[in-house]
Amino acid sequence: MTTSHPDAVVGLPAHLLNQFDVPGPRYTSYPTADRFVEAFTQDDYVQALRQRAEGATVGGKKPLSLYLHIPFCESVCYYCACNKVITKHHEKGAEYVRALGREIDLHVEQMGRGQAVTQVHFGGGSPTFLSDAELGDLMGCLREAFRVVPGAEISIEVDPRTASSERLGRLRDMGFNRISFGVQDFDPQVQVAVHRVQPFEQVRDLLVAGRELGFESTNVDLIYGLPKQTPDSFAQTIRRVGELRPDRIALYSYAHLPQRFKPQRRIHAEDLPPASHRVQMLSAAIAGFLGFGYTYIGMDHFALPGDSLAAAKRQGRLQRNFQGYSTQPDCDLIGLGVSSIGKMGAVYSQNAKTLEEYYDALAQRRLPVVRGIALTRDDLVRRAVIMAIMCQGRLDFESIELAHLVNVQDYFQSELSGLAPFVEMGLVTLEPGALQVTAQGWYFVRAIAMCFDRHLQADRVRGRFSKII
């Protein structure tokens, strides 16, 4: 059974663009993070940690992944919706590294030392705000607390403005084997509009250095829908990135939510491209990167055929987590640092969102968890359905029925009936025992997944999400 490919799409009808120019979740989790509640506390998270340590989780012990959030940036990018602290005072990094060490120690107290880890990711903010010594101390702390297995993916997000080939070499020596560069767009006018100016040559030289240093994977992040972007200008960025040939490309749609994210108020709404232009950019990016030999992984990821993400796609092993598409099997995830989100067994948790609150909890020797959710049986079934749609573009009823002991036709009778408009529009086909996303449907896969989101259907409040197109 094969999934369809969106490169077959040469144009999308205007009525579809208008109909789906609406907000919707990205489904890096289900339930989505807006469903987390403050009634979920540190005590609930500790219980989940202990259950893992005792091997009491359903289905046995899962692989373990670590995410470390480094919130600091020297300057603000106007599009950014991440949890960040803008400062030029690098001494703040040392205090934060000490706090991360305390948080790691608290996890060891609950789980024991030496839990096997298969994936480590440093995100932000700008992790390279920290000095090499501070990053080295953090890596040493992690290796002392956990057993980072041979072949583990150890990745870091790099701000090209804070890096050099020499610095990449030091990161490689620390054990990092995957690097991701935030590019967003190479057009100078767009860079000025979003307050992130970095020459093409700077990124090019770092990518070349990364390959020469033996990094297993290099990634470039792009955003379409930014102010001053046009289909023609973004086509030039697509061409330049394709010629650089990073191993992976993450292509995100800009979510303009100035009511939630203060830096975005500096972006003039009249400078944003209309929905039709955003779709042209997405369509051209897909066609362009496929033309450069990339595999289309899904909604926002591309990879060269030899990359592990492309292999996972071919083999039906693709997963989706809080960082997007992933090769890792259904992992437990420990989120470390301010605002970090974790997944442990059947619970999600999130740390305090401010440094003050984060530091205060650790000073009291408490894990800084301030909210989360314990998944119900219904949540688990729906998560499996939504992730199958998002990752494979196909839902085989039998696999859900065997794993969750439900009859899909009965359990999702109203949802399957509600897909009728999607079938009529040519976005979905319903086969005996399966749902298949079509070529056009890949553009609107979030809308298809939304049909199975019980929480979203219940309240219809979607303004907090980015737009589907």
- Between the two ends of the chain, the Cα-to-Cα distance in Å is 28
Chain centroid, CA 406 distance in Å: 30
Q: Is 255 annotated as a binding residue?
A: yes
Contacts by residues 212-216 (CB-CB < 8 Å, ≥ 24 positions apart): 213/165, 213/168, 213/169, 213/172, 214/172, 215/168, 215/172, 215/176, 215/177, 215/178, 215/179, 216/177, 216/178, 216/247
How much of the chain is in helix, strand and coil states, percent to nearest 5? Answer: 45, 20, 35
Residue 148: CB partners within 8 Å, gap ≥ 6?
A: 117, 120, 142, 154, 175
Q: Is 81 annotated as a binding residue?
A: yes
DSSP string spanning 439-450? TGGGGGHHHHHH
Q: Distances in Å between the alpha carbon of 234 and those of 47, 71, 154, 205, 249?
A: 48, 29, 31, 21, 14
CA–CA separation, 108 and 225 (whole Å): 43
DSSP string spanning 137-198? HHHHHHHHHEEEEEEEEEEEEE-GGG--HHHHHHHHHHT--EEEEEEE---HHHHHHTT---
Please calculate the CA angle 162-165-168 and round it to the nearest 5 degrees: 75
Q: Is 202 annotated as a binding residue?
A: no
Q: Is 352 annotated as a binding residue?
A: no
DSSP summary character for residue 257: -
Q: Is 457 annotated as a binding residue?
A: no
Q: Is 33 annotated as a binding residue?
A: no
Q: Is 157 annotated as a binding residue?
A: yes
- Per-residue b/e over 152-176, b at no fewer than 16 CB within 10 Å? bbbbbbbbbbebeeebbeebbeeeb
Question: Does residue 118 contact residue 153 with C-beta atoms inside 8 Å?
Answer: yes
Q: What are phi and psi of 171, to 5 degrees?
A: -60, -40
Nearest to 313 by CA among 428, 390, 226: 390
CA–CA separation, 424 and 385 (whole Å): 21
CA–CA separation, 445 and 430 (whole Å): 15
For 54, the token pair is 């005792």
Q: Is 341 annotated as a binding residue?
A: yes
For 114, the token pair is 């030496």
Q: Is 141 annotated as a binding residue?
A: no
Q: Is 196 annotated as a binding residue?
A: yes
Q: Is 19 annotated as a binding residue?
A: no
Nearest to 156 by CA among 128, 183, 136: 128
DSSP summary character for residue 71: -
Nearest to 180 by CA among 250, 253, 239: 250
Nearest to 185 by CA among 231, 237, 250: 237
Q: Is 80 annotated as a binding residue?
A: yes
Q: Is 45 annotated as a binding residue?
A: no
Per the annotation, binding residues are: 67, 73, 77, 79-81, 124, 157, 184, 196, 221, 255, 341
Per the annotation, binding residues for S-adenosyl-L-methionine are: 67, 79-81, 124, 157, 184, 196, 221, 255, 341
Per the annotation, binding residues for [4Fe-4S] cluster are: 73, 77, 80
